[in-house]
Structure 1
Amino acid sequence: MKMLMEEGVDTIFGFPGGAVIDIYDEMARTDIKHILVRHEQGAVHAADGYARASGRVGVCLVTSGPGATNTVTGIASAYMDSIPIVVITGQVPSHLIGNDAFQEVDIVGITRPCVKHNYLVQNTNDLARIIKEAFYIARSGRPGPVLIDIPKDVVNTKVVFKEPGEIKLKSYNPTYSPNMKQLYKIIDLLKTARRPMIFAGGGVILSGAYKELADFARKAQIPVTTSLMGLGAFPATDPLWLGMIGMHGTYRSNMSTAACDLMIAIGVRFDDRVTGKTDIFASQAKIVHIDIDPTSIRKNIPVSTPVVGDCKITLEHLNKLMAEADLGNLKEKRSGWLHQIKGWKSAGSLNYNQKDIIKPQYVIEKLYELTRGEAVITTEVGQNQMWAAQYYHFDKPGHFITSGGLGVMGFGLPAAIGAQVACPDKIVVDIAGDGSIQMNIQEMATAVQYCLPVKIVILNNGYLGMVRQWQELFYDKRYSCTCMEHAPDFVKLAEAYGAKGLRASKPEEVEEVLSKGLSTDGPVIMDFRVEREECVYPMVPAGAPITEMLLV
């Protein structure tokens, strides 16, 4: 508890059990706030949401065996998205490890592929040092989850506390400052490029490089696209904004990628949902790749100028070099390129026709208008996630929280709880589908118990929407096991949990329901009965070039 408080921990998300009962007993003597979730997966997602919304390390605490295994999906999601969390699990007494004891499981072995590092504490004298190391590893370099597995006898043993001192790990030394020679190469590329673009990812947000990116793009007059994880890294209301790139990216963003002669990729990993057919991705461009993780560079896409370093520090250096360099009249040099992009924007790839049945896009647009873009948005996974990314315009980092890499259905509600704890004065909204919200709906009880006013917007189409869309487009409309007509009455379900439930079945009811839901105290579920077979467009079929988009 002393080490957690020294690391600035003020909140732990968790679920008690026999292997951690002594830790819980000690925690009751501290000022650390504990949020009792209803399922351990919810604890990890809540810690994840807390970390993203606050910029701090999220913490969760669970017991051994099933308590530990229930965290694995959340840990894997945090690992894929590089989110700093520390997961503390209880373990059976040391002398019982390997004996198939009650609620024993090798959680260190199970999680080894999906953590940045993990520990099995074997000596109480090592505990303080391990906790300090865990937080250092979680938040430094490319962030990620760290697990600490603590046997019950290690917790019960008394030792004299010793301050662990400065952390020094011989085999772990992240590179923060870039090689300046590589940055001079970027300046030379900027001098000759006629059609440059910036591709920013979650690394920009994690490093706090939001302002530096905006300064760089505006000074160099370079349009910006982002990955799903990078939404909010660059203001969506800026004239240089292209929209999201990739499978469900905008027409102008994907076309710009194919036509650019210089791509500056910052804090990205060139995910397959971004690149499409990799051998022709940005085929006309010289690619600069800036990332703190050297293993991400050239992993998926060949690059001409690799730069290993922290995004914020690297962009600070680049901005200084640009101020000193003679780059000529960039606005004039880029005018033809920006005019071309304006033409692609006029293609209207995100247009839709709102008639008699509620369109999900309309719900998101109205939510954006009513919250003036200031809400923290979490999402589940599927169509709801993509519509949120397309139609809610993010001007700030930390306002879009989603499971990007692993794509976990059931992520949004517990993540919203974590974000609401981190940001008590902000509106937090989980945009969900009727299928995904049921994955962790039990966390409504958590929101009600702690008076957390999260708002849930359900785009209810009675299907597992994204899988149904693929079945419509690529499987001759054979809707195998994707119909969910027998969902619960979400209004009554909200009331059963002690929350408020609202419903809109007609377009003219949408704004009223959203306004009432957003202004109501406490947690609210808003059920919007939307067009059942609406699809997310644009869409790039799997494996196709990202210029081959289905637009309607």
Structure 2
Amino acid sequence: MKLTGSEIVIECLKEQGVDTVFGYPGGTILNIYDALYKHQDEIFHILTSHEQGAAHAADGYARATGKVGVCMATSGPGATNLVTGIATAYMDSVPMVAITANVAVPMLGRDSFQEIDIAGVTMPITKHNYIVKDVNKLADTIRMAFHIARSGRPGPVLVDITKDVTANSAEYTPEKPYETERSTEYIKEKDLEKAIELINHSKKPFIFVGGGAVISDAAKELMEFAEKVHAPVADSLMGKGAFDGRSELYTGMLGMHGTKASNLGVTHCDLLITIGSRFSDRVVGNAKTFAKNAKIIQIDVDPAEINKNIVVDCSVIGDVKEVLKRMNTKIEDHNHDEWLAYVHGMVEKYPLRYNEDILTGPYVVEEIYKVTGGDAIITTEVGQHQMWAAQFYKYKKPHTFITSGGLGTMGYGLGASLGAKVGRPEKTVINIAGDGCFRMNMNEIATASRYNIPIIQVVINNHVLGMVRQWQTLFYGKRYSNTILNDAVDFVKLAEAMGAVGIRVTKKEEVAPALEKAMSLGRPVVIDCVIDQDDKVFPMVPAGDSIENVFDQEDLAKKEN
């Protein structure tokens, strides 16, 4: 049958099983929105308050559901407003398709109104991208975009379509989506055998889990593997939920704000088994001294990540779930009681601490965990509150902690929470933000109200840019250059003005009732939790320092005395 380019776009989205699109219309993409109008009973479109919110919502939807998230924007500034969200998805390997429209082919390259080479702009931050100038190539391009986004190491793909292509007609024949198989072509038997040999000879193994284990849905295989190896387990920020945070083998996060037990455990181990992690600088610290006493095994789907940041002794390239399945059939049960006792001793000796006399960020996070029973989806912005959310909430399952890890995008979490709640409506979704981050994209509360998406926005409000202030306190002689936000902004009134419910919390005993009320209302709620401006995230490793030099508030006090 013959369809216009715009109709082909919609039919291809339906082919791919897309049920939700986040976006913002404009002149060049109007034809697509007109076609979407005719299919609004099949594809739910959410009009965000800003295109960046649309990209973050598509990202959050993808992370919460495992499906490909879809966002749309018009040409020029509409397309460039997606860039931060696309880059966020790229850094964290999130499957997303961004559809933009551009000026007609004869107008390209003429500095036409709202013309931008968005394919050129996004080339470094997409897994692949296209500009479609021929309507006959449109359907196959969209199909391939979805296949690329979800296959291997996932990532965002951009499809830019000229306006005349959206109006022109071509033959369209429905097709089934491409089969997406787990990546196994690089899994070599000799690599598996070498890894198992290293495990068999290890006396002090340590397992480090990254975001690849979440993306691969390898939680079951990972737990079996950890129990067979009988090793302590740490995770990265992106790896939260891949390994049950309540397990006796779990030692907490690794890296700059990781636990002392994890950082010192990795320093003292003789074998580090790294699963689905790219050895980010925030994890590694000083690469020359990282895991200095250990041989290192790296399991990752992306060959480009092997020996990129840390040179390893053994690598297995392939989908994490598939690799662990094969290793679990070959590996014997080990006993490392002495080593585990040593690491557990560090867990008990160096627990995460905070001031229990006043309302603090960690207390708020612990109350969120208690009230939700640990069954919520937690999204975050970036900063102190993000680290507290990683440290003090026990994540039991993958896809329940959604945060910007690689790019560190302030303003990410609120849009992501909208996408997560739309994708998983049965789950309680709570976005934890600092007041600085919340200001960046707080207009998306209006989006939540418009569609009555009952997310809960918790603002850890210290009236400063908390993490930057922490660095200024510790490393910049307390010179607080442009980090104080002590002004007249009232988040409760702002929430009410946008059609949401606003609740202010200033005391510890007010936190649980506020959360319980928010969960009962079935409406968007903003909870403004006012804390002290000098609360800090500990433990901490200075940037570029060895992770064994991790320090906490007690160490700092001793040093100052």
- With the shorter chain as reference, the TM-score category is over 0.9
- Paired residue type of 1:248: H
The Cα offsets for residues 418-477 of structure 1, whole Å up to 9 and x where unpaired, read as 000001111000000011001001101110111100001111000000000000001111
Matches within 5 A, 1:415-454: 415-454=416-455
Q: Does residue 15 in structure 1 map to residue 24 in structure 2? A: yes
Matches within 5 A, 1:307-386: 307-322=316-331, 325=332, 330-331=334-335, 334-355=336-357, 357-386=358-387
The Cα offsets for residues 487-526 of structure 1, whole Å up to 9 and x where unpaired, read as 5111111110111000111222222222222222200000
- Paired residue type of 1:335: D
CA distance in 2, matches of 1:107, 1:287: 40
SS at match of 1:528: strand
Structure 1 gap segments, 5+ residues each: none
- 1:124 maps to 135
State the shift of 1:55 in Å: 0.4
The question of whether the paired residues in 2 share the 8 Å contact of 1:349 and 1:538 is answered with no
Size of the aligned set, in residue pairs, is: 542
Q: Share of identical aligned residues, percent?
A: 52
The one of 260, 264, 275 aligned to 2:269: 260
The question of whether the paired residues in 2 share the 8 Å contact of 1:196 and 1:223 is answered with yes
SS at match of 1:230: coil
TM-score norm. by structure 1 comes to 0.96
State the shift of 1:176 in Å: 4.6
- 1:279 maps to 288
- Paired residue type of 1:128: A
- 1:181 maps to 190
The one of 279, 289, 300 aligned to 2:309: 300
TM-score norm. by structure 2 comes to 0.95
The question of whether the paired residues in 1 share the 8 Å contact of 2:195 and 2:315 is answered with no
SS at match of 2:308: coil
- 1:543 maps to 544
SS at match of 1:14: strand
Matches within 5 A, 1:38-57: 38-57=49-68
SS at match of 2:110: coil
SS at match of 1:469: helix
- 1:232 maps to 241
The Cα offsets for residues 88-133 of structure 1, whole Å up to 9 and x where unpaired, read as 0010001100001010000000000000000000110101100010
- Paired residue type of 2:61: Y
The one of 153, 163, 173 aligned to 2:164: 153
The question of whether the paired residues in 1 share the 8 Å contact of 2:103 and 2:115 is answered with yes
Q: Summarize the Cα distance change of 1:288–1:501 in structure 2 as closer, same or farther, 3 Å threshold.
A: same
SS at match of 1:459: strand
CA distance in 2, matches of 1:359, 1:147: 41
Q: Does residue 500 in structure 1 map to residue 501 in structure 2? A: yes
Matches within 5 A, 1:42-121: 42-121=53-132
CA RMSD of aligned residues (A): 1.6
The Cα offsets for residues 53-107 of structure 1, whole Å up to 9 and x where unpaired, read as 0000000011000000000000000000000000000100011000010100000
CA distance in 2, matches of 1:176, 1:392: 37
State the shift of 1:342 in Å: 1.2
- Paired residue type of 2:49: R
CA distance in 2, matches of 1:433, 1:289: 35
The question of whether the paired residues in 1 share the 8 Å contact of 2:448 and 2:454 is answered with yes
The question of whether the paired residues in 2 share the 8 Å contact of 1:176 and 1:292 is answered with no
CA distance in 1, matches of 2:471, 2:279: 23
Matches within 5 A, 1:483-522: 483-522=484-523
- Paired residue type of 1:537: F
- Paired residue type of 1:377: I
- 1:246 maps to 255
State the shift of 1:210 in Å: 1.1
CA distance in 1, matches of 2:523, 2:176: 44
SS at match of 1:346: helix
CA distance in 2, matches of 1:342, 1:226: 16
Instruction: Report the more deviating stretch, 218-227 or 53-62.
Output: 218-227
State the shift of 1:18 in Å: 0.9
State the shift of 1:173 in Å: 11
Structure 2 gap segments, 5+ residues each: 1-9, 554-561
State the shift of 1:249 in Å: 0.3
The question of whether the paired residues in 2 share the 8 Å contact of 1:209 and 1:312 is answered with yes
- Paired residue type of 2:401: F
- 2:559 maps to none
Matches within 5 A, 1:175-214: 175-176=184-185, 178-214=187-223
